[in-house]
Structure 1
Amino acid sequence: MISQFILPTNVQLRADSIHSEPGILYIDTSVCQTCSICPVCNKKSSKIHSRYSRTLLDLPISGHLSKVQLKARKYFCDNPECPRKVFTERFDCEIKPYYRRMIRSNDLLTRMALELGGNTGAAISRYAAVPVSPSTILRVVKRLDIQPKKLTSGVIGVDDWAFKKGKTYGTVIVDLAKKEVVDLLPDRESATLSEWLKQHPEIKTVSRDRYGPYALGIKTGAPDASQVADRFHLLMNLGDATKRIFQSKGKELREAFTLYNQHNQPKNQPAKAIETESAVQNMLQITEDTLTTANISIDKLHKFEKVKDLYSKGNSIRQIAKTVKLTRTTVRKYTMMEQLVKRQAHTTTNLDAFIDFLMQEENRVKTYRELHKTIVEMGFNGKYTQFCNKMNELKNTQPALRPKSTGPILVKTWSPTRLSLMLYREPCELKRADDKDFLKLLFEKYPQMKKMEKLVKGFKNLFKTKKDGTLKTWIEEVFESDCGLNNFAKNLLKDYDAVNNAVITNISNGQVEGQVNRIKTIKRKMYGKAGFQLLRKMVLAKSA
């Protein structure tokens, strides 16, 4: 009965006795098979040479560590031509030479390793009564013989994943039909991807982002395969292009902000609060300068001013980049900016609405805690720490340039990033009324902005209509307009076939992005020990 419920049924073992000590259950067993096969010549032998003891870990029993104490045997090899004269007893399954645990116990550790990783897997193994170290967990995974998946659909997605973000990257290849990882590559070079594709001639379609080496690698390794650009990255590229345009229109946007705030003051605001356009301009300028340029390093400001000076003297972008030791992309961005701004925080507050109230003479003697409590009651939506940081930035503001008021004056501005996002949305999707009003004013004052909005929404609608030829028409409209999207359209022409396939097909790289997130999770389970080979096995095994 003991052998039926405790010992594996596919091995000829007999349970002789069972005893225990705290936390451990010992099962004394002996072998029932009458012969064994020589591992060298594969001949059967029944001549016993000697006996020896062997201890194997088995599956836990009622939360106790289970150890099988096996009386194993050694055999003479009867084959006179075999170089092995004596060999240890071999089993068909469950027990392997040199192993310290049963195969089924090792399988349990394998499943734990694949699900939990090294440190966490070792911690859980102690609760499961099969205690092992993190290094043992990793060795279990390394011993797995996992081969890359076989493609069945011929449609794959390619994207990069980070060993260390910003420094080293690898490549993941996903079967888009089966939604599983096919293989991992150790880098994202075009030659590596090309060699992999040459070994898989069945591939007909490849979805990718707009990374140049991927396009080259696919063209070299699978010249007959059609490439599909990822729609998400195309829309991101368009968003970046519109943001750069807004950044280059600093003067126009400041005029629009001034005009908007003039026409949208609260009805109960005293007439003396803002008497002239110059007062509004000063207020906006002070607020913008204080909140956007504070804490920018001196060297960065110096390089920005140097770029503007050299560019005004007729120097080329390349020459300026070499002189100030910046990339050409940064130099080009600086030349289009009216003012250097610091990176915006992820969370924003409505402190702008209370600046003039806080700068009143009677409030300057109050503590930050008192002022914060007061403006919270008036509708401030930020934390005390955010309030203190902004107040420290505002200390250098000259109060003489600010008009006196008896209450907070709402000064509304929109960042280039927010404006670029607003262009994508339909009027009904804009939840805030001031967003709609400002866009209406901006379009009336600058018609080219209205053209840009029409083209942005038109590009977005290309992926809904999915008609061939609409992309070419859209690009021609961009070249005929003066909205500033010409460079974006030129880049689309360089990769026209892949972009057009993204427009007319339903193939998407979204599944690949999801697999990249899964790789990040697996990588973090390994706590810095996930070298490429180990990580590749983990990912492929989890995709089974």
Structure 2
Amino acid sequence: MSVADLLFSDAAVEVERLTLAQDEVLVAARARGDGAVCPECGRRSSRVHCYYDRRLSDRPIAGRRLQIRLRARRFTCENTACSHRTFAEQIPELTCRYARRTEALTGLLTDIALFLGGRPGARLADRMSMAVGKDSMLRLIRALPEPDHGSVQVLGVDEFALRRRRKYAAILIGMVTHRPVDVLADRTAATFESWLRRHPEVQMICRDRAGSFRDGACAGAPQAKQVADIWHVLHNLAEAVERIVGRHRAELREPLPMSADATPAGETSATEVDIHGRPRPLVARTHERYQQIHERIQRGDSLRAIARELRLSRGTVVRFAEAAEVGELLSAATDRPSMIDDYRLYLHHRWLEGCTNASALTREIQQLGYRGGPGTVQRHLRAYRTGAIPTNAPLPQLTVRRVTNWIMRRPEHLTDTERKSLDDLCDRSPVLAITTEYARRLAVILRERNNEHLAFEVWLADVRLDGQRELRTLAGGMRRDRAAILTALTTTHSSGAVEGNVTRIKLLKRQMYGRANFDLLRRRILLSP
């Protein structure tokens, strides 16, 4: 039996001739059968009006394109009341009206388009001996009907960027099926509210702590319970802790024994002066701005007026106004992370031992993992060469991010060295000690989910009394979101499925190079497997 006979074994088609060319297979076939059904009136007719040729592309065979030349028939409708005088027969699973591809090839190209998009899908199809343009691939996607997900009682919602920091959309997920339900063109509360009003069956909404989704859910589905995702609450807590640790980064330094040539306590720090002993421009500017802003605050000027007068952003004015002393701002400006941080203690001891050659010290720390050049080492040793030997040096492991990680991790997961370093830091800094206590108390409440409603309320009250301003700001937002957080403590629902779909959306966006319209991206999100 020939390849063509295997391919067209249906009784409705008879293969007449098979021709093998260099890069394609040509099949001549004709339709057979007693008649066809009129698509308008549904009456069967066997009266042939005429014959005509149709050229169809089908799935390739052995790496060669398959072209079918089908001799089709046009029938006369024998129903005198029918508006169709004649009609063309359609062969099931092979032809449809106006199509130049078989249904099998159309389905295959549609799957490729959904997986890869327009131009990448067209390139793959061409390598598979299926000639098709990128615009045709996109038309196949747009021709698909939208899926019907039925009733959605548990809904997940999150935002994703169409253009980062400029334009955002929202993805809605059925939390039972973990499949996208709809994609909204923006992330505003009004759009989300309108969608919820059209779907009154929603009984529970899983979301992050974005205010727009909270307000939209309250207005559009007052009957639904809102569940704040625990991971996002912990992430907000970690961000607050990191800001506190960053504000007190100067306390991450462990005092070292003072040498005979060391700078006495109370004098200007070596990090605040240049090689000539003059204040660094950034330090001098910070002192000047701090004095200007606080003088105007005492005079009664508003923050907006101060920002306008000094030509600063309002965020900068707020940061200077909230700083209790200029040292908080200088620590952030002068103690920025550097690739040499992990080797400062080693360089300090080597200098005291008498090794003052920057090139030799660079080679030594490169063997320890340093990836920089000698220039950074030379700049670091300038203060030593002027006689201003620092009285302290940072421990290699005490960076802002690392200390935040120690505070947020479960205590039993810390090594003995990490636990001892954190305890020593808390002994030196009462602020970081109380921050560690509050962060761990809330982390236990959120991770255990033992319906700790009273413990959560006590934590909010304690932070309001003596917590740092970052924790007080966090607690204020959590009070506004109290109901959703308390619901999260008594349910197993989370936004994990939503975050997974957002990750998949990022892949789809990269495949489309950011040039597709929103309607095409929406269809790929809803229809992609």
Q: Under TM normalisation by the shorter chain, which class is it?
A: 0.7 to 0.9
Q: Deviations over 1:248-267 (max 9, x none)?
A: 4x4xx53x455x232xx6xx
What's the TM-score, normalizing by structure 1?
Answer: 0.83
Shift of 1:216: 0.7
CA gap 1:358/1:445 in 2 versus in 1, 3 angstroms: closer
What is the alpha-carbon distance in structure 2 between the residues aligned to residue 158 and residue 477 of structure 1?
32
Residue 353 of structure 1 aligns with an amino acid whose one-letter code is L
What is the alpha-carbon distance in structure 2 between the residues aligned to residue 44 and residue 346 of structure 1?
83
Q: 2:207 aligns to what?
A: 208
What is the alpha-carbon distance in structure 2 between the residues aligned to residue 225 and residue 257 of structure 1?
47
Percent identical residues: 25
Q: CA RMSD in A?
A: 3.6
Q: 1:162 aligns to what?
A: 161
Q: 1:474 aligns with which of 445, 456, 459?
A: 459
Q: Does structure 2 conserve the Cα–Cα contact (< 8 Å) formed by 1:151 and 1:182?
A: no
Shift of 1:19: 0.9
Q: 2:495 aligns to what?
A: 509
What is the alpha-carbon distance in structure 2 between the residues aligned to residue 226 and residue 303 of structure 1?
48
What is the alpha-carbon distance in structure 1 between the residues aligned to residue 387 and residue 104 of structure 2?
80
Q: Does structure 1 conserve the Cα–Cα contact (< 8 Å) formed by 2:207 and 2:226?
A: yes
Find out whether 1:458 has 2:448 as its counterpart: no
Q: Does structure 1 conserve the Cα–Cα contact (< 8 Å) formed by 2:110 and 2:137?
A: yes
Q: Does structure 2 conserve the Cα–Cα contact (< 8 Å) formed by 1:261 and 1:411?
A: no
Find out whether 1:382 has 2:370 as its counterpart: yes
Q: 1:352 aligns with which of 344, 361, 369?
A: 344
Farther-moved stretch of structure 1 (127-136 vs 305-314): 305-314
Shift of 1:188: 0.5
Q: 2:277 aligns to what?
A: none
Q: Deviations over 1:77-109 (max 9, x none)?
A: 334444443333333442011111100111111
Q: 1:498 aligns with which of 464, 473, 484?
A: 484
Q: Does structure 2 conserve the Cα–Cα contact (< 8 Å) formed by 1:354 and 1:409?
A: no
Shift of 1:113: 1.6
Q: Does structure 1 conserve the Cα–Cα contact (< 8 Å) formed by 2:57 and 2:102?
A: yes
CA gap 1:389/1:18 in 2 versus in 1, 3 angstroms: farther
What is the alpha-carbon distance in structure 1 between the residues aligned to residue 349 and residue 78 of structure 2?
103
Q: Does structure 2 conserve the Cα–Cα contact (< 8 Å) formed by 1:142 and 1:537?
A: yes
Q: 1:6 aligns to what?
A: 7
Shift of 1:316: 3.7
Q: 2:521 aligns to what?
A: 535
Shift of 1:72: 1.3
Q: 2:292 aligns to what?
A: 309
Q: Does structure 2 conserve the Cα–Cα contact (< 8 Å) formed by 1:148 and 1:540?
A: no
Q: Does structure 2 conserve the Cα–Cα contact (< 8 Å) formed by 1:257 and 1:412?
A: no
Shift of 1:116: 2.3
SS in 1 for 2:201: coil
What is the alpha-carbon distance in structure 2 between the residues aligned to residue 272 and residue 395 of structure 1?
16
Q: 2:329 aligns with which of 321, 331, 338?
A: 338
Find out whether 1:524 has 2:510 as its counterpart: yes
CA gap 1:49/1:247 in 2 versus in 1, 3 angstroms: same
Q: Deviations over 1:369-399 (max 9, x none)?
A: x66434323x2x232xx33573476587573
Residue 478 of structure 1 aligns with an amino acid whose one-letter code is V
Residue 365 of structure 2 aligns with an amino acid whose one-letter code is I
What is the alpha-carbon distance in structure 2 between the residues aligned to residue 343 and residue 276 of structure 1?
18
Farther-moved stretch of structure 1 (226-235 vs 346-355): 346-355
What is the alpha-carbon distance in structure 1 between the residues aligned to residue 114 and residue 95 of structure 2?
22
Shift of 1:125: 1.4
What is the alpha-carbon distance in structure 1 between the residues aligned to residue 28 and residue 338 of structure 2?
65
Q: Deviations over 1:295-317 (max 9, x none)?
A: x998x996995365213431443
Residue 6 of structure 1 aligns with an amino acid whose one-letter code is L
Residue 521 of structure 1 aligns with an amino acid whose one-letter code is L
What is the alpha-carbon distance in structure 2 between the residues aligned to residue 312 and residue 419 of structure 1?
35
Q: 1:441 aligns with which of 424, 435, 445?
A: 424
Residue 122 of structure 2 aligns with an amino acid whose one-letter code is A
Q: Deviations over 1:472-491 (max 9, x none)?
A: 12112223435443222222
What is the alpha-carbon distance in structure 1 between the residues aligned to residue 434 and residue 358 of structure 2?
50
What is the alpha-carbon distance in structure 1 between the residues aligned to residue 9 and residue 261 of structure 2?
89
What is the alpha-carbon distance in structure 2 between the residues aligned to residue 313 and residue 534 of structure 1?
54
Residue 209 of structure 1 aligns with an amino acid whose one-letter code is D
Mark the runs of 5 or more structure 1 residues left unpaired by the alignment.
266-270, 291-295
What is the alpha-carbon distance in structure 1 between the residues aligned to residue 84 and residue 156 of structure 2?
52
SS in 2 for 1:462: helix
Shift of 1:169: 0.8
CA gap 1:148/1:277 in 2 versus in 1, 3 angstroms: farther
Mark the runs of 5 or more structure 2 residues left unpaired by the alignment.
275-279
What is the alpha-carbon distance in structure 1 between the residues aligned to residue 284 and residue 77 of structure 2?
85
What is the alpha-carbon distance in structure 1 between the residues aligned to residue 374 and residue 58 of structure 2?
62
CA gap 1:87/1:346 in 2 versus in 1, 3 angstroms: farther
Q: Does structure 2 conserve the Cα–Cα contact (< 8 Å) formed by 1:57 and 1:68?
A: yes
Residue 320 of structure 1 aligns with an amino acid whose one-letter code is I
Q: Deviations over 1:266-294 (max 9, x none)?
A: xxxxx847756539x86xx435888xxxx
Farther-moved stretch of structure 1 (11-20 vs 324-333): 324-333
Q: Does structure 2 conserve the Cα–Cα contact (< 8 Å) formed by 1:205 and 1:225?
A: yes
Q: Does structure 1 conserve the Cα–Cα contact (< 8 Å) formed by 2:342 and 2:395?
A: no
SS in 2 for 1:403: coil
What is the alpha-carbon distance in structure 1 between the residues aligned to residue 9 and residue 317 of structure 2?
71
Q: Does structure 2 conserve the Cα–Cα contact (< 8 Å) formed by 1:65 and 1:129?
A: yes
Aligned residues: 511
CA gap 1:496/1:63 in 2 versus in 1, 3 angstroms: same
Farther-moved stretch of structure 1 (487-496 vs 187-196): 487-496
Q: 1:403 aligns with which of 389, 397, 409?
A: 389
What is the alpha-carbon distance in structure 2 between the residues aligned to residue 343 and residue 205 of structure 1?
47
